[in-house]
Amino acid sequence: MSNKTGKKILLSGVKPTGQAHIGNYFGAMKQFLDLQNSGDYECYFMIADYHALNLIQNADEMHKLTQELVLDFLAIGLDPKKAVLFKQSDVSAHTELAWIFDTIVTMPYLMRAHAYKDAEAKNKEINVGTFNYPVLMAADILLYNTDVVPVGQDQKQHVEYARDIAEKFNFIFKDSANVGATTFKLPQPLILENVATVPGIDGRKMSKSYNNTIPLFATREEITKAVMGIVTDSGGPENGGIPANVYAIHKLFKSEAELKPLYEANKGKYKNLKEALIEDIDAFIKPIREKRVELVKKADKVVSKTLAEGAKCANKIVQAKLEQAKRAVGVI
Ligand code: TYM
């Protein structure tokens, strides 16, 4: 802890690459909210637009998706009075520090990253931004003296890369006369075991790229469509009439104790169980969906105000760390 408040520092981010889904929410955004409201952390929540640029290469779409994600953040209850909500590209220190890290990170090391290996296995042509993804993410995290990074399981390796990069930097530049013993603090991932990987409607990890999501702000119709599409007839035994994929998603909304009698009374009756799940998802989404509808009415104003305030605050916070790193490497 090295900040003025004496609180632990928390940072996380979401890419504006499409509609937020309940995997994003339960895997990460719900933790953002709970930890923000605990009052125990100094919180930074980032819209990772430069990371999204690897995928979204259309200005109108980038503007739209960024605005949508700010509204999502606000609608779930992230609060600019309690946390800094900002956009990565507004804080140029991120890309500046990433360049410094680029000079100490090796290509073989980045070639071991899951995301790179997956893309390579699919014979995809990989741009340098995707290859370098973990380096920019390390800069995102390390600039803020971050203690904890709440994320889903798929981001664990990225937080480990940030730790490795911090250690390597601290080691290489430890003798710089004008810096203290260490420049960067080693962050910890914060992953909740039961929601580390939220499954999608086909039982694989819920992901925009698999087209198996339930949108976080889905309408009743969209919820119905998604739930009716949950795969019940494949992917392993149905545990004596309990459809595994339906149950796995239902567990996010109700406790296992609450679900037990429902599933026992409806063994093999998949339609009943799916209807109950639709009710439970809708009951959960309805209030945040309504809040979001209200926010949309004043979207332009709310979004620009939130991002302007966030950018101002984040830029101020990172100056000292960036300067420390630049001194350590000897460019100032
Ligand atoms: P992104 O935008 O892919 O996802 C945002 C968060 O949602 C989590 N998540 C899931 N958790 C559980 N089950 C799922 N099915 C599921 N799908 C998504 C992700 O783990 C993530 O926590 N690289 C990051 C963005 C980023 C970032 C950062 C995060 C950029 N810089 C610095 C933390 C710190 C990403 O692509 O998240």
- Which residue ranges form the domains of the chain, and what is each CATH number? 8-196+299-329 (3.40.50.620), 208-294 (1.10.240.10)
116 CA → ligand 1 middle, Å = 16
For the chain, percent of residues with pLDDT exceeding 70: 95
Distance CA 285, CA 328 (A): 48
CA quadruple 94, 97, 99, 105: dihedral sign? negative
Residue 17's contacts (CB-CB under 8 Å, 6 or more residues apart) are 52, 55, 56, 65, 208
User: What pLDDT score was predicted for residue 107?
Assistant: 97
Q: Which atom of ligand 1 is nearest to the CA of 48?
A: 30
Instruction: Please compute, for residue 271, the number of CA atoms within 13 A of its CA located in the half-sphere on the CB side.
Output: 0
Return the best residue to mutate from 154, 158, 191 for the ligand 1 pocket (most ligand atoms within 8 A of CB).
154
User: What pLDDT score was predicted for residue 288?
Assistant: 98
b or e along 51-87 (b: 16 or more beta carbons within 10 Å of the residue's beta carbon)? bbbbbbeeeeebeebbbbbbbbbbbbbbebeebbbbb
pTM: 0.95
Q: Which atom of ligand 1 is nearest to the CA of 198?
A: 13
* More confident call, 239 vs 16: 16
pLDDT class of 2 with cuts at 50, 70, 90 = very low
User: What pLDDT score was predicted for residue 177?
Assistant: 54
Residue 231 corresponds to which amino acid? V
User: What pLDDT score was predicted for residue 234?
Assistant: 53
145 CA → ligand 1 middle, Å = 20
Whether pLDDT at 88 is above 70: yes
Whether pLDDT at 29 is above 50: yes
198 lines ligand 1 (CB under 6 A): yes
The maximal CA–CA distance of the chain, rounded, in angstroms, is: 71
pLDDT class of 232 with cuts at 50, 70, 90 = confident
CA quadruple 121, 122, 125, 128: dihedral sign? negative
Residue 326's contacts (CB-CB under 8 Å, 6 or more residues apart) are 100, 332
243 lines ligand 1 (CB under 6 A): no
Whether pLDDT at 196 is above 80: yes
Residue 51 corresponds to which amino acid? H
* More confident call, 5 vs 44: 44
**Range of lowest pLDDT (5-9, 64-68, 219-223):** 5-9
User: What pLDDT score was predicted for residue 94?
Assistant: 98
Q: Which atom of ligand 1 is nearest to the CA of 15?
A: 2
b or e along 2-30 (b: 16 or more beta carbons within 10 Å of the residue's beta carbon)? eeeeeebbbbbbbbbbbbbbbbbbbbbbb
- Helix orientation angle between 133-142 and 156-172, rounded to the nearest 10 degrees: 70
Distance CA 199, CA 207 (A): 9
Return the best residue to mutate from 14, 26, 130 for the ligand 1 pocket (most ligand atoms within 8 A of CB).
14
- Residues 9-27, mean pLDDT to the nearest whole number: 98
User: What pLDDT score was predicted for residue 240?
Assistant: 72
What is the rounded radius of gyration, in angstroms, for the C-alpha atoms of the chain?
Answer: 21
Q: Which residue has the CA at smallest separation from atom 27 of ligand 1?
A: 13
Give the neighbor-by-neighbor strand order of the sheet with 41-47: 83-87, 41-47, 8-14, 148-150, 188-190
- Helix orientation angle between 299-329 and 59-76, rounded to the nearest 10 degrees: 100
pLDDT class of 1 with cuts at 50, 70, 90 = very low
Q: Which residue has the CA at smallest separation from atom 18 of ligand 1?
A: 24
Whether pLDDT at 138 is above 60: yes
- Residues 60-66, mean pLDDT to the nearest whole number: 98
Which residues, listed in sequence order, are joined to residue 21 by a DSSP beta bridge? 215
Whether pLDDT at 218 is above 70: yes
Q: Which residue has the CA at smallest separation from atom 36 of ligand 1?
A: 15
Q: What is the mean pLDDT of the chain?
A: 94
14 lines ligand 1 (CB under 6 A): yes
User: What pLDDT score was predicted for residue 179?
Assistant: 54
User: What pLDDT score was predicted for residue 180?
Assistant: 54
184 CA → ligand 1 middle, Å = 22
Distance CA 102, CA 106 (A): 8
Long-range contacts of 109-114 (CB under 8 A, 24+ apart): 109/164, 110/134, 110/135, 113/157, 113/158, 113/161, 114/154, 114/157
Whether pLDDT at 212 is above 90: yes
Distance CA 109, CA 161 (A): 9
User: What pLDDT score was predicted for residue 277?
Assistant: 98
